[in-house]
Amino acid sequence: MSDTLKIYRFPDPVLRIKAAPVENIDGELQQFIDGMTETMYKAPGIGLAAIQVGKPISLVVYDISPPEESHKINVIMNPEIVSREGSITYEEACLSVFDYSAEVKRSNKILVKAIDREGKPIEIEAEGLHAVCLQHEIDHLNGVLFIDHISSLKRSLYKSRLKKILSKEQ
């Protein structure tokens, strides 16, 4: 097994970097994917974008299977949402946003084009939680956090609470 990776937290500027497309799928990248997967499960979370562990490449790992089922890891690279429909409001949290969750409105159904772990083109039709997870992680690849989708008042309240938490840690 690989070592777990450091998950960067808001307000770290690395989280605002736009990810570059994955162009070279090699053994080093496969090891990195394994490390991301282990990190996500240990956190624990249902999704993790490479940018969250400090690597600005267009790569996401996620697993939305229920906890009582065995792990079903999904790896997508260079994802692009090509269609959207409907809307859903879902309570979201994030491994990079410490101690906070909020309701976010997103598309209920999406179609994503991407490449898989081997570089083969794939299409994913996602609905509900699956669609929310993909939109959340694809946002990360564009330097967007779920807190960017909430009201400025809620965001400023979170930022001031976070400042207090961080000042106590130092």
Map out the domains of the chain with their CATH numbers: 13-169 (3.90.45.10)
Contact 56, 20 (CB under 8 A): yes
Q: 137 catalytic, yes or no?
A: yes
Is pLDDT larger for residue 163 or for residue 63?
63
Look at residue 68 and tell me whether its pLDDT is greater than 90: no
Active-site option among 85, 127, 137, 169: 137
Quote the DSSP letter at residue 46.
Answer: S
Point out the least confidently predicted range of 65-69, 131-135, 166-170: 166-170
- Tell me the per-residue pLDDT of 114-130, one tens digit each, with 9 for 90 and over: 999 999 999 999 999 99
pLDDT at 1: 46
- Tell me the per-residue pLDDT of 93-121, one tens digit each, with 9 for 90 and over: 999 998 899 999 999 999 999 999 999 99
- Tell me the per-residue pLDDT of 22-60, one tens digit each, with 9 for 90 and over: 999 999 999 999 999 999 999 999 999 999 999 999 999
| Residue closest to 79 by CA, chosen among 28, 27, 22, 130 | 22
What distance in Å separates the CA atoms of residue 8 and residue 52, rounded to the nearest whole number? 5
Read off the pTM.
0.94
Helix (H, G, I), strand (E, B) or coil at 133: helix
